[in-house]
Structure 1
Amino acid sequence: MMTLTRPLPSWINLEALLPYIGTLLLILGASTAFPQVLSLDYLTQQLQIAAFLGVLATGATIVILLGHIDLSVPWTLNGAAIVATAMAGSGNAALIALAIPAAILFGAAVGAVNGLGVTILRIPSMVWTLAINSILLGLAVLNTGGFNPRGESSALMSWLATGSIAGLPVSFLFWMAVSLALALVMTRSGFGRYLRSIGYNEKAVYLSGVSTRSVVVGAFVIAGVCSALGGVLLAGYANQAYQSMGDPFLLPTIAAVVIGGTSILGGCGGLFGTIGGVLFITILNSVLSVAQISDAWRSIIFGAIILAMLLFQTLRRGGRT
């Protein structure tokens, strides 16, 4: 009798599992010298911190799967935070209620501009999004005069960033909800299938009759919305927006995606691995901080571990070709 077996989902592979294994080893190794690393309070705090990076990396994964990259994350985040806190601190009930939707709309608009610039003008995404990031920086400085923007977070923004439900941070649950929603889109819709296909071979997908332009623009819009949501969470955590609040997140965002097994060339990877990459980077930064490692050595260790994991992925993929 013939038996049929279903293939494993594409996200169940060594590249996706590696950051989870690395995170577990980091925690267990650090606990031998710092037992507090295993405490519930510590781990819960790390989940809260990871959520800020996680929301950004979720959007970045969508774009990188296409073989593109979004370098406008820092000031899309900053701009959304400035918009949200300005409206939330206005004292007007209607504006306060619209603070988060306005931030999301801002992120979507930036994403649309990025997508249209890449698809219509055919400018490489790295160059276009870096230029957009610079323009957003300049607009923010013109708006604030170079000082920290005025305004404060709303009660909802603060709750999303610092609240808890059943002992779990709301920010972590929010990140998981965003990841689940996008995972369903990627696995249950034509958009998700075309996303990976374009990453493999955009020309072939275009010749098959698919509107690749709309898929690329849609992916950049999603990334812009995720960057804006990251700004909302960070502003809620700090109770304000401040200059350059998004700058430290650019490289960790890209690193989390690639460490999670998503190819920088596109077409391979997924959100499951990205979640592991975010957790790995968050725990690594925390352990190095707890160990009171100097900034210089922390940078060296952080970079060496990331390069080692990327080298492993490259060698493993090369062995399959």
Structure 2
Amino acid sequence: MRSAITLDSLMPFFGVVVLILAGSVFFPQVLSAGYLTQQLQIAAFLGLLATGATIVILLGHIDLSVPWVLTGAAILSTALVGTGNPVLSAIAVPAALAFGALIGVINAMGVAILRIPSMVWTLAVNSMLLGLAVLNTGGFNPKGQSSPLMVAMASGDILGLPISFLVWIAISLILGYVLTRTPFGRYLRSIGFNEKATFLSGVSTPSVLFVAFAIAGMCSALGGVMLAGYANQAYQSMGDPFLLPTIAAVVIGGTSILGGRGGLFGTIGGALFITLLTSILSVMQIDDAWRNIIFGVIILAMLLFQTLRKGAVA
């Protein structure tokens, strides 16, 4: 991931340091090991979603089905565990990941084959997943529970570090290697720069899109599994609050919303920044409406910065 470390990707880490120092002036507990460890644990949930979102955004597309892929995976995994059948409980996590990959493939089908704009197609898929969930649960919170594995992944720790954080970083390192050291990574960025030119050069661009969207779906599903493990249950609309922060984490991390430029190193910093900012705003008792306004302003500011910087380079 070394080649992905740029000034843009380092900015959110500087922001994290500033938030910690500024927050500690008003709330000294911000500097405590317990508080910082808790933030790493919570950041992992957002980080997994942002990891998948980064892959898609590097293509020059966007995935708006994240909320209900997350929720659907959580409902599916907890429902399998809730049956009490040991076999079904054992396959709960793999089944959720397979569900995420399937939705990713459906997303790619609309974008790569039907040539429908990703924003429109994935939003429609998200809406359909919402409808299917309501039909399945009757509008009530789904029944089921988390397995010990799901709880351990979400709330366990190894040598004082949250397992959720370690899983997130491990996945980021693996995908970071794929993006920077394999042909797939080069093709993915090339598609983000110019999809038509990449196709004419002999690259099977639909194949790259299918794999990228499937990876994104699995990341969203894993985030849902971990959130279900953290809450020990799934619930309606549990993924809705994550869409805007997910996009914000990617953009703050230096990945261009137009595709082709960026990486997962910056996304890690972006997820940490958003998580810490949310926590500090919560401690300051800033309501959700103002938090959404702040996230929107941050995204617009980063987009403006990227646009001006691109113009300056040109």
TM-score, length basis structure 1:
0.95
CA–CA distance in 2 between the matches of 1:302 and 1:221? 27
Match for residue 202 of structure 1? 195
Match for residue 60 of structure 2? 67
**Closer/same/farther in 2, CA of residues 307 and 124 from structure 1, 3 Å limit:** closer
The one-letter code of the counterpart of 2:45 is F
| SS of 2:26 mapped into structure 1 | coil
Counterpart among 29, 39, 51 of residue 46 in structure 1: 39
**Residues 57 and 278, structure 1, Cα contact 8 Å, conserved in 2:** yes
Match for residue 37 of structure 1? 30
CA–CA distance in 2 between the matches of 1:84 and 1:227? 13
In the TM superposition, residue 116 of structure 1 has moved relative to its aligned partner by: 1.0
- Note if 1:128 corresponds to 2:121: yes
In the TM superposition, residue 303 of structure 1 has moved relative to its aligned partner by: 3.3
- Note if 1:272 corresponds to 2:259: no
Match for residue 171 of structure 2? 178
**Residues 39 and 276, structure 2, Cα contact 8 Å, conserved in 1:** yes
| 1:113-192 matches, cutoff 5 A | 113-192=106-185
CA–CA distance in 1 between the matches of 2:249 and 2:112? 26
CA–CA distance in 1 between the matches of 2:160 and 2:197? 48
Counterpart among 65, 81, 88 of residue 95 in structure 1: 88
Match for residue 3 of structure 1? none
Report Cα offsets for 1:108-145 as digits up to 9, x if no partner.
00000100111111100001000111111111111011
**Closer/same/farther in 2, CA of residues 301 and 134 from structure 1, 3 Å limit:** closer
Match for residue 301 of structure 2? 308
Unaligned runs of 5+ in 1: 1-7
**Residues 156 and 162, structure 2, Cα contact 8 Å, conserved in 1:** yes
CA–CA distance in 1 between the matches of 2:179 and 2:297? 32
**Residues 60 and 70, structure 1, Cα contact 8 Å, conserved in 2:** yes
**Closer/same/farther in 2, CA of residues 295 and 225 from structure 1, 3 Å limit:** closer
Match for residue 281 of structure 2? 288
Structure index of larger Rg: 1
Match for residue 99 of structure 2? 106
Match for residue 226 of structure 2? 233
**Closer/same/farther in 2, CA of residues 109 and 307 from structure 1, 3 Å limit:** same
In the TM superposition, residue 265 of structure 1 has moved relative to its aligned partner by: 0.5
| 1:244-283 matches, cutoff 5 A | 244-283=237-276
**Residues 66 and 199, structure 1, Cα contact 8 Å, conserved in 2:** yes
**Residues 15 and 313, structure 1, Cα contact 8 Å, conserved in 2:** no
Counterpart among 5, 20, 24 of residue 12 in structure 1: 5
**Residues 284 and 302, structure 1, Cα contact 8 Å, conserved in 2:** no
| SS of 1:318 mapped into structure 2 | helix
Match for residue 84 of structure 1? 77
CA–CA distance in 1 between the matches of 2:11 and 2:188? 24
CA–CA distance in 2 between the matches of 1:60 and 1:295? 23
**Residues 3 and 180, structure 2, Cα contact 8 Å, conserved in 1:** no
CA–CA distance in 2 between the matches of 1:12 and 1:132? 34
In the TM superposition, residue 181 of structure 1 has moved relative to its aligned partner by: 1.1
**Closer/same/farther in 2, CA of residues 60 and 302 from structure 1, 3 Å limit:** closer
CA–CA distance in 1 between the matches of 2:48 and 2:230? 14
CA–CA distance in 1 between the matches of 2:290 and 2:201? 51
In the TM superposition, residue 310 of structure 1 has moved relative to its aligned partner by: 3.4
The one-letter code of the counterpart of 1:137 is L
**Closer/same/farther in 2, CA of residues 258 and 305 from structure 1, 3 Å limit:** closer
**Closer/same/farther in 2, CA of residues 202 and 143 from structure 1, 3 Å limit:** same
In the TM superposition, residue 102 of structure 1 has moved relative to its aligned partner by: 0.4
TM-score, length basis structure 2:
0.97
Amino-acid identity (%): 73
In the TM superposition, residue 296 of structure 1 has moved relative to its aligned partner by: 4.1
The number of residues matched between the two structures is 314
CA–CA distance in 2 between the matches of 1:304 and 1:129? 24
